[in-house]
Amino acid sequence: MTSPAQTTTCSAAYMTPWFTVAVMFALYILILMWFCKNGKKICMPTPDNIWPYEKRLKQLKRELSHLLLEDMFIELCDHKLGQGSVGFVFKGFVYPNTQNRYKHKTPAAVKMSYPLPAKSMGLLEEAARLARLSHPNIVKLLAVSQLSFSALRPMLVIEWLPGGSLGEYFRVNCRNPGDDAIVYVRDVVRLLQQVAAALQYLHEKRDADGSELTHRDVAARNVLLTSTDLTKCEAKLGDFGLPIDFGNHLPLPWLPPEIVGCATSHDPKARTRHRPEADVWMFGVLAWECATLGAEPHYQRSVREMCDAMNTPDRGLPCPPNCPTIFYDFIQSCLSEPHRRPSFIAPLDSSSSVLFRLKQLEYFFTNSQHCFEAVPNESCCTCATHRCSRSRM
């Protein structure tokens, strides 16, 4: 039998300093391994209540899995390009996942959502729609940040178009005193043809649930240019999928009367779905923006005044002074009743086709030197608070 003295000696052997160091080192290794695996999740900001969106988030993550990219491969610059209903747009870069990635960075536009679950989901829904589209006149989605799902703060990487937006071009080059940029009708028609081709492709497709696919925010601010030379540049349609129930952020001056009247109604059953005919109306407003070189439709009109103006013969968008009659007739056809508007998917040899009408305009203005003139924004309001009596370019 083992004596008590021997038992005490054996037990004390386990309490040597070397054993303590070994145990502490092993615990340190285990903690380090656990932190390397889960530490990033711990450092992530905890999003607000995302429980209502968890099921849809899993679906979106599966749909966008081929575009997910680690945050370290996306760089944001301080230069803010714009701000929309769901977030900000910054100039940035995207790096390929290679050893010499820093030598092959690609300029990009990075969209980041506001820190609100509803806004984040709106941006992810836009990414899902954009990921299913592939057309030369539609901006391309390059990547989606992993942070979009781990912290519900989406970042979308979209191809960079150095020409900026068409609305910005008008504002910078045409609407300031001393600007001498000449915008020919033939160049505007060519850009509108490219936007119409993108909308034709869009309207021919179906959404994930089989419903009609529409853009919902056709405007000069969402027509992006490959360069600032309108005679050679290409136009691409961007900013897809603005939700129709985003409240005060709805682009009411561009929307048709069947939606403006319902959007301002307090009855939830009165909401009207955005159909392809609404995109045609917005395309007509875009053409009017081009004819005025960037004037704001329904400038400083209240919703009531806007609805009243839409019931007048010119729909509240009068013919610009230097706009050809044939061009304004096309605008008016897009601003007619829903069943009378031309369509993007009608047969190309029919007068009910938007592309056919634009082809006629292209033929008419091919060798024409006719150009548009900037029309100032004018308001009948005389309130002292806003100083609305002053016209604004």
Domains of the chain: 51-159 (3.30.200.20), 166-365 (1.10.510.10)
Which residues are 87's β-sheet partners? Answer: 113
CA-nearest of 220, 388, 214, 381 to 297 is: 220
Which residue is associated with the tokens 């530490």?
39
Question: Does the pLDDT of residue 238 top 60, yes or no?
Answer: yes
Most trustworthy range by pLDDT among 35-39, 91-95, 231-235: 231-235
Cβ–Cβ under 8 Å, residues 297 and 285: yes
Which segments within 117-203 are labelled E, that is strand? 141-145, 155-159
Most trustworthy range by pLDDT among 8-17, 35-44, 48-57: 48-57
How far apart CA 95 and CA 213 sit, in angstroms, is 32
> Is residue 235 within a helix (H) or strand (E), and if so which, with residue range?
strand 235-237
The pair of three-digit structure tokens given for residue 288, joined into one six-digit string: 């009017």
The band of 148, judged by pLDDT with boundaries at 50, 70 and 90, is: confident
The pair of three-digit structure tokens given for residue 385, joined into one six-digit string: 């608070």
The backbone region for 160, taken as left when phi is positive above 0, alpha when psi lies in -120 to 50, beta otherwise, is beta
What pLDDT digit, counting tens, does each position of 157-208 carry? 999 999 999 999 999 999 887 777 899 999 999 999 999 999 999 999 877 6
Range 363-374 average pLDDT: 94
**Looking at residue 142, what is its pLDDT?**
93
Question: Does the pLDDT of residue 98 top 90, yes or no?
Answer: no
- pTM > 0.75: yes
Which residue is associated with the tokens 């319902």?
262
| DSSP calls for 316-361 | T-PPPTT--HHHHHHHHHHTS-GGGS-BSSS-TTSTTBHHHHHHHH
What pLDDT digit, counting tens, does each position of 114-130 carry? 888 888 888 898 898 89
Range 336-356 average pLDDT: 93
Rounded to the nearest 5 percent, the helix, strand and coil shares of the chain are 45, 15, 40
The band of 39, judged by pLDDT with boundaries at 50, 70 and 90, is: low
CA-nearest of 252, 319, 324 to 281 is: 252
How far apart CA 369 and CA 147 sit, in angstroms, is 51
What pLDDT digit, counting tens, does each position of 240-282 carry? 655 444 445 678 899 999 888 755 555 544 556 788 999 999 9
Range 319-333 average pLDDT: 96
In single-letter form, the type of residue at position 232 comes to K
Comparison of pLDDT for 196 and 146, the residue scoring more: 196
